[in-house]
Structure 1
């Protein structure tokens, strides 16, 4: 199982200047190579290398490996663009948006990530330093830091390339690690149902609720602050907006990590699997009032689901996905389905058997039941192939 670990670099001012110059040179070279690929219709590394390799090395002073990575990055960008166009990410063919995306070469930001392989980057884990290639020569003794658990995972399981990234003036290395999976529990003692929502981010069939009211209030304050700063449009407002950029996303990610950790730990402790809703198309299916739409569209439910899946895979906990249709209207006791069974957001009251419970817990019981049926029918545990854990 692949996980991604991010560690922070602590370069000196001289080292930071060399890293910045290298990143800019590599991305300028990749942008130029992408233009050549567009003009020559050479979208594969071997084809593009014939047209661009020598020029990339001479004009931007890149080493052999860096030039190869710049060319490959350009080709990968066109592969991603092609997939997005095919999947309708830029609208249907013939629309202006589709034409704009497909009718011009790919351009890379000056701070876009640059891949490094083992010939360009070496790790000294005991000294907590790296030796990294730059256009100014090899930098040795560049310090890095991270949480103890992350550094241990990095030292024991790192494989393949690492990406050099600059975010907000801070430098990071993002490394891929191959983590051994836990032994899958092939005979789970039932399933822990998880209902995802807005008022309660996650409610489990054990009765646990991870309330989102305080989180949503804080997010609403952040949105108002962003809107206020954007309207001011002064230098100080832009400086403050830059300071808070990404803060909400980092907070949401931290909360999702904590929730997923608790859910997986409880399932592992009790020998059960985890049943999740299939969230594909949730934004198209959900019909909400205007104040709730922003909350629905901005909270990373897919991220929470992926965190639960990969943590469960590490622990050997089976995960299944069920159809979420009518889970909030179905009685978990008699399985009668009716819209009137839910007279209020937090209340479920069955009109046939009289069963009364919190609506989210009732839905989580239905998800747990459906999870067991899916497992009996032969479903397998699934998890994303690559997840960022730091």
Structure 2
């Protein structure tokens, strides 16, 4: 499976200028290539290369950098086409879709640029890289990373790496090809995980990740953004830009912690994991105006992705179940009633009288559905038996037994 490792470059002043200039030049060239592709109806990569390669070389790009710039543009149009086909940009004729289709794709000056092993070499023992720039090759550029990231680079790095500038700092994002662990095809049971807003995740094992701290952090960040936007000064805009990704980083860190806890428990106990398939939930639910910010800030998709790739690395089975009625059905007697859900946190069955936390009840329902999905989907372990057709075919291959000779007829005998 593919895993990315991010390292932070520690260049000197001259190297910073060279790296920043390189990103600006290649992304300016990518915008020009995008315009050519748009005018010619987005041809194939080989045909696009014939129209743009010579000009890119004249702009000071190396051979590999020119090839990667062309491929980056072509991949961007492929992604755009896939999003349009999937309906992610709205229906035909919508304002957002028309805007995306009416002009060439543009690239930010600090957008990522791919590097292969011809443009970038790693000296892992020294924690340094040698990297191509428009000002020449920079050798001995130091980088910083954790011990686990360094081990991952040493053992599994394979393929391209991306150079990106973020908030004035430069990072290399390397691709690592990590072998998958053998899948546990006979899990003891399944752990149901109910994803929510008041509680980020509730597992059928009793683990509950409360969302109160995360929601408080989001509200504090939203209030600060509102004040800075209302102020409108240069310093306020500078602070807004500095804090633009702070909430996203905080949320990602919490989701990593929650997903690691769930997967580690499943791996230790030999269980599988069952998640709700929440695809399109934001389009299905009806919200009051004061609920929209909260629901649209809900990072259930990111948490689900983290659980999925961690489970894949650990060899833990993962299934997705239908979320219908998981919050209204009693996990003990399976009675379904909207009135069973007394409020956000309380579940009281109208049939058997079971009372428990609503998220705990939902997690048990998800676990039961996960076992059903796994049982229905796995391969049969029953040994193959000889069918009637095979028996008939085998019998036809045997030589026919001779008919018994008839006894002679004698009068008076019976």
- The equivalent residue for 2:11 is 11
1:258-312 per-position Cα deviation (integer Å, ceiling 9, x unaligned): 0000001111111100000101011123334333321221122111001111111
Q: How far 1:104 moved relative to its partner?
A: 1.2
Q: How far 1:39 moved relative to its partner?
A: 1.3
CA distance in 1, matches of 2:144, 2:104: 37
- The equivalent residue for 1:296 is 295
| Residue 186, structure 1, aligned to residue 182, structure 2 | no
Q: How far 1:209 moved relative to its partner?
A: 0.8
- The equivalent residue for 1:283 is 282
- The equivalent residue for 1:86 is 85
| Residue 112, structure 1, aligned to residue 111, structure 2 | yes
CA distance in 1, matches of 2:273, 2:180: 16
- The equivalent residue for 1:387 is none
1:34-63 per-position Cα deviation (integer Å, ceiling 9, x unaligned): 1111112243210111111001110x2000
- The equivalent residue for 1:215 is 214
If asked which structure has higher relative contact order (CA below 8 Å, sep 6+), I would say 1
CA distance in 2, matches of 1:99, 1:288: 27
Residue 42 to residue 285, structure 1, CA distance change in 2 (3 Å):
closer
Decide whether the 8 Å contact of 2:42 with 2:77 is kept in 1.
no
- The equivalent residue for 2:43 is 43
Decide whether the 8 Å contact of 1:260 with 1:304 is kept in 2.
yes
1:246-267 per-position Cα deviation (integer Å, ceiling 9, x unaligned): 0000000000000000001111
State the secondary structure of the residue aligned to 2:130: strand
- The equivalent residue for 1:237 is 236
- The equivalent residue for 1:57 is 57
CA distance in 2, matches of 1:312, 1:136: 44
Decide whether the 8 Å contact of 1:43 with 1:78 is kept in 2.
no
State the secondary structure of the residue aligned to 1:99: helix
- The equivalent residue for 2:371 is 372
| Residue 228, structure 1, aligned to residue 227, structure 2 | yes
- The equivalent residue for 2:142 is 143
Structure 1 residue runs without a partner (length 5+): 381-390
CA distance in 1, matches of 2:117, 2:106: 27
Q: How far 1:360 moved relative to its partner?
A: 0.1
CA distance in 2, matches of 1:90, 1:174: 28
Q: How far 1:321 moved relative to its partner?
A: 0.4
CA distance in 2, matches of 1:295, 1:154: 38
CA distance in 2, matches of 1:129, 1:285: 50
CA distance in 1, matches of 2:175, 2:51: 31
Rg (Cα) greater in structure:
2
State the secondary structure of the residue aligned to 1:73: helix
Count of equivalent residues: 379
CA distance in 2, matches of 1:100, 1:267: 46
Which shifted more, 22-31 or 94-103?
94-103
Q: How far 1:90 moved relative to its partner?
A: 2.3
> What TM-score do you get using the length of structure 1 for normalisation?
0.95
CA distance in 2, matches of 1:241, 1:100: 27
CA distance in 1, matches of 2:61, 2:69: 9
- The equivalent residue for 2:96 is 97
- The equivalent residue for 1:22 is 22
State the secondary structure of the residue aligned to 1:377: helix
Decide whether the 8 Å contact of 1:192 with 1:368 is kept in 2.
yes
Structure 2 residue runs without a partner (length 5+): 380-414
CA distance in 1, matches of 2:336, 2:196: 20
CA distance in 1, matches of 2:274, 2:94: 40
CA RMSD of aligned residues (A): 1.2
CA distance in 2, matches of 1:107, 1:293: 30
CA distance in 1, matches of 2:64, 2:50: 15
CA distance in 2, matches of 1:238, 1:16: 24
> What TM-score do you get using the length of structure 2 for normalisation?
0.90
Decide whether the 8 Å contact of 2:193 with 2:366 is kept in 1.
yes
